[in-house]
Amino acid sequence: MKFVSFMKKGGLIACVLVLALALDLALAASGWIQSSGYFWLDDFELTRRDHPEEVWDKVIYGSSELTSGYREDLSESGYVNMGMDYATMTDLVEILEDGHITVGSELVLALNWGALCDIMDTNPTYEWHREWYEPYFYFQRDRIAGFINDTLKALIGAGEFRSRDYLTQTKAYYYGHMSVEELQSRVTTLHDLYLSGGISDFRQNLAAMNEVFSFCAANGIRVRALWLPENPAVELDPVDVEVREAAREVCESAGVEFYDMTDALGADCFYDTGHMEYDYGSVEFTEVLDKWLLS
Residue 12 lies in a domain: no
The order of strands in the sheet holding 103-111 is 80-83, 56-62, 103-111, 222-227, 258-260
Is residue 62 within 8 Å of 110, Cβ to Cβ? yes
1 lies in some domain: no
Q: Which amino acid is at 1?
A: M
The answer to whether 237 and 188 are in contact (CB under 8 A) is no
Question: Is residue 3 predicted with pLDDT exceeding 50?
Answer: no
Q: Domain for residue 16, yes or no? A: no
Position 91 pLDDT exceeds 60 = yes
Taking only the tens place, the pLDDT of each residue in 146-198 is: 999 999 999 999 999 999 999 999 999 999 999 999 999 999 999 999 999 99
Q: Rounded to an integer, what is the distance from CA 16 to the centroid of its chain?
A: 36
**Which of 7 and 123 is assigned the larger pLDDT?**
123
Whether residue 251 is contained in a domain is answered as yes
Domain encompassing residue 48:
40-130+168-293
Phi, psi of 80 (to 5 degrees): -75, 125
Domain contains 192: yes
- Domains in the chain, number: 1
* Amino acid found at 31: G
Residue 142 resides in a domain: no
145 lies in some domain: no
Helix (H) / strand (E) containing 111: strand 103-111
Return d(Cα 48, Cα 50) in angstroms, integer.
5
State if pTM tops 0.85: yes
CATH number of the domain within which 105 lies: 3.40.50.1110
Residue 99 lies in a domain: yes
- Mean pLDDT, to the nearest integer, of 50-66? 97
How big is the CA angle at 13 (ends 8 and 14), to the nearest 5 degrees? Answer: 95
